[in-house]
């Protein structure tokens, strides 16, 4: 699983010109899935995302988590995070998980966020979406579970 996390003060997603998801302070999370992903990986990713200390405390230091600030998440499915651009000029998406399986993991991801008392707004899986938000900071962080696997293999 790969996520791009962007700290925001407000965000929304439109499908066919209609806002289908909207949040205020929190995170925009673009989530992509590959063939190695499973519920265990998602559980680890959820724990990392909601406890990542990337919000400012009273001294202006990034020392608070999404949990600490009671922030929300705008969750957007994003198969293009696994684009392979090593050959040619047209990206290959062969590393992205098949949509019929990815949607189940995406739904699990969003439900687990809610189970952790996070307010979650979403786009619509597989639809053309327009996402608009204010990147606060700007703060953008990429987390890739494949990197966790590589680091564990080195041990």
Q: What is the pLDDT along the chain (155 residues), one digit of tens a residue?
A: 999 999 999 999 999 999 999 999 999 999 999 999 999 999 999 999 999 999 999 999 999 999 999 999 999 999 999 999 999 999 999 999 999 999 999 999 999 999 999 999 999 999 999 999 999 999 999 999 988 777 666 65
Q: Delimit the domains of the chain by residue range.
A: 2-154
Q: Which residues contact 86 (CB under 8 A, 6 or more apart)?
A: none
> pLDDT at position 155, please?
59
Prediction pTM value: 0.93
Residues with catalytic annotation? 78-80
CATH number of 2-154: 3.50.80.10
Alpha carbons 66 and 79: distance in angstroms, whole number? 24
Alpha carbons 139 and 136: distance in angstroms, whole number? 6
> pLDDT at position 116, please?
97
């Amino acid at each position: 699983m790969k996520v791009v996390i962007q700290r925001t003060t407000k965000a929304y997603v439109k499908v066919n010109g209609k806002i289908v998801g909207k949040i205020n302070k929190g995170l925009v999370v673009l989530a992509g899935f590959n063939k190695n992903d499973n519920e265990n990986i998602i559980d680890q990713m959820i724990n990392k995302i909601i406890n990542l200390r990337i919000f400012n405390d009273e001294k202006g230091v990034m020392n608070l988590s999404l949990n600490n600030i009671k922030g929300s998440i705008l969750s957007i499915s994003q198969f293009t995070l696994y684009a392979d651009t090593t050959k040619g000029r047209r990206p290959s998406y062969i590393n992205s998980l098949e949509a019929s399986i990815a949607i189940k993991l995406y739904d699990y991801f969003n439900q687990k966020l809610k189970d952790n008392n996070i307010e979650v707004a979403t786009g619509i899986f597989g639809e053309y979406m327009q996402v608009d938000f204010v990147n606060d900071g700007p703060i953008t962080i990429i987390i890739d579970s494949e990197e966790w696997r590589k680091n564990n293999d080195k041990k």
